[in-house]
Structure 1
Amino acid sequence: MQTTLKDDVPLVGIGLHSGRPARVTLRPAAADSGVRFRRVDLSGCDTMIPARYDLVSDTTLNTRLTNAAGVSVSTIEHLMAAIAGTGLHNVLVDIDGPEIPIMDGSARRFVRGILSAGLRRLDAPISAWAVMKTVTLEEGDVTASLSPFSGLTIDFTIDFPDAAIGRQTASMNLSNGTFIRELADCRTFCRRAEVDYMQSRGLALGGTLENAVVIDGDQVLNPEGFRRRDECVRHKMLDALGDLALAGAPVLGAYRGVRAGHGPTNRLLRKAFATPGAMARVTVDAKIAGGMPGFQLVAADLAAVG
């Protein structure tokens, strides 16, 4: 059955690009309402922004949604990954500005808040998007694809010239609590030269070693180093889950990304939904539900949140 929160989840942090304080509250929502953002700092216009792939207006360094009234919210990908990874289907996200807080650069604090509040089952079946045939996006050396699968798997490859990152590949079936155990704590990363460039252009003003892993050649500038040996590719998988969650319902399929990011994943979704017969809306039965993210979490999964 569909889920929502048992209680509100208030969270406070800093916007990665604005550098300004940001307050967000996750609230329970009715069945079939999905994920919606609401800009509580605005009035006199439509402040509701559904979390949908076709409302993505920018994918430069983050994912931004914009509604028909021009109201937007950005840096949504980590929160969307936490929502999808915990099996939360319906939630209203109140935000007092244009950017979701970056927290520690991962999805861990969002997951912790969701699990602390708890999930409530609703009297409505889960509806999902099943990938019926393979759809591939190729852009130079970047590839992203979706293929049929009964649950959700993500396979990702990155390749950076920096020795501290290099070439990394990982593949995971995201059933049950896999996202929480294996991906939720993996932080966003960037190269030192990119940080200097972004901040010179008024971006990443809230970025620090407290909310991002910074790489300089063969060095990790964060004193604690990586949380996981392959944290970089795992974070790319986290991002992919968050961007796939903009399908508007859980995706049943196998995602593969090679050097992909927010833009290619969004364009892949647009291509998949525009391809006749590629995506089908299905009602999830108990067998399918057992292989989806967030199903029947156990104590060990919750402990992984920290």
Structure 2
Amino acid sequence: MTASSLARLGVSWIVVACAAVAILLLSVAWVRPALAASKRVSSTGIGAVAFFYGANVQAERFQPFDTVVIEPDSGFDPRTHTAHCPNWYAYVSVGEVTKQRAYYARMPKTWFAGSNTAWSSTIVDQTAPGWPAFFVDEIVKPLWERGYRGFFLDTLDSYQLVAKTDVERVHQQAGIVAVLHALKARYPQAQLILNRGFDMLPRVHEQVAAVAFESLFGRWDQSNQRYDDVPENDREWLLGQARQIHERYRLPVISIDYCPPGNDTCRRDIVRKIAALGLVPYVTDGGLQTIGDGGTVLGDRAPLRKVKFRRRRSVTLTDTQ
């Protein structure tokens, strides 16, 4: 009904104006939260992702990101910083443990299968009786109680350093699957991002929010303490894995790449290369001690362009971490 019609009915202009203003204010009140929420939503379901393992987590600096993975031993409390980021993920190592972890001393030494000298860590035997229950009770439960609802599960392929036969590898993989099933059985609402773990995906993909891998274009060589370009064969192999994850499981795939700290050109160049392949990018320093660049440098939550991945070549898996 128009204002002139209302006037003929005896409704004053003041009433009409007040009604219009009230409707406008209500519209803004409803639309503003919707717009704010839409900025936090992405076609991937996890949005722009950051990984930060530094000791001083300044929550406000991660406001451009939707999902942030941090080192829980930093003492950060996600319950007090919900306004800055809706998805705080805790870094959790599945395949390895270091002496610095509080739970290390409580692990039976019979569970230790070897060592990773490059990272000064101990490899965990995934077939050890009681390991899935220990993982949930001693590692995940304290993090859940601190407010974490997402977990980035790392070192899922470390068993390959100690498993020498196909039978041993199958048993180790089954152990990791049991760990993930135990976690989701206790905490069905937990969101999981896997770092690699490609061999386990057929059995756990329904419990996973995303899959990550490291070093598609730029890598960090921990043993020699240097940054390197990723060989073409390694990149082709990883892209083959990404293609299968997209096609079979419809899961977002994250590529974590590395550049020297302070090299903005390197970071942003690699971010664009990764995004052009339809993957979720994040590029930072080798120790993940600085805040790097992700999909936020490409624009405000623009969906990543879908591309057809190239077919995998027959190459040997190499360690590109």
TM-score tier by shorter-chain length is: under 0.3
> Is the strand fraction higher in 1 or 2?
1
* Larger-Rg structure: 2
> Is the helix fraction higher in 1 or 2?
2
